Amino acid sequence: MIVHFPIAIIVLGFIADLASLIFKKEVCLSKTGFYLLIVGALSAIVALLTGVFFTSELTGSAGDIMETHEHFAWITLSLVILTSILRIYLLVKKKENSNLKWIAFVLYGLAAISVSVTGFFGGTLVYNYMMPL
């Protein structure tokens, strides 16, 4: 169950950030996206650690898919941590309206894509190879 939280939280947070750009007067959406990013980063750390410590090694085609799954999990974790650091910096320095917000937005979007790809490969392992993750 733990691995599903980062998927939902990161994607929903990105959608909130996207909506905040569309509805510029809604400050609440940007704050929601920020808080979901932080919670998503924390949940991604926990999810990745559960995979590292509680999943056995696989061989063959299932092992190849698991390697891809792990690779995208690390990419996701790196992106959400980097984005979190950038967003915290922007908040602390009161530069939330600078051009750096666009870099944070793109990184957040890449994290949402990456966590979706991670989930896809995790689902492939579970449903095609009957591997409980």
* Best CA proximity match to 5, nearest among 45, 54, 44: 44
Q: Look up the pTM and report it.
A: 0.89
Extract the runs of DSSP E, i.e. beta strands, from the chain. none
**Residue 26 and residue 20 in contact, taking contact as beta carbons nearer than 8 Å:** yes
User: What integer pLDDT is reported at residue 3 of this predicted model?
Assistant: 83
Task: For residue 22, give the amino acid letter.
Answer: I
pLDDT in single tens digits along all 133 residues of the chain:
788 899 999 999 999 999 988 888 777 888 999 999 999 999 999 999 988 887 878 888 888 999 999 999 999 999 999 999 999 999 999 988 789 999 999 999 999 999 999 999 999 988 888 765 5
**CA 80 – CA 129 distance, rounded (Å):** 29
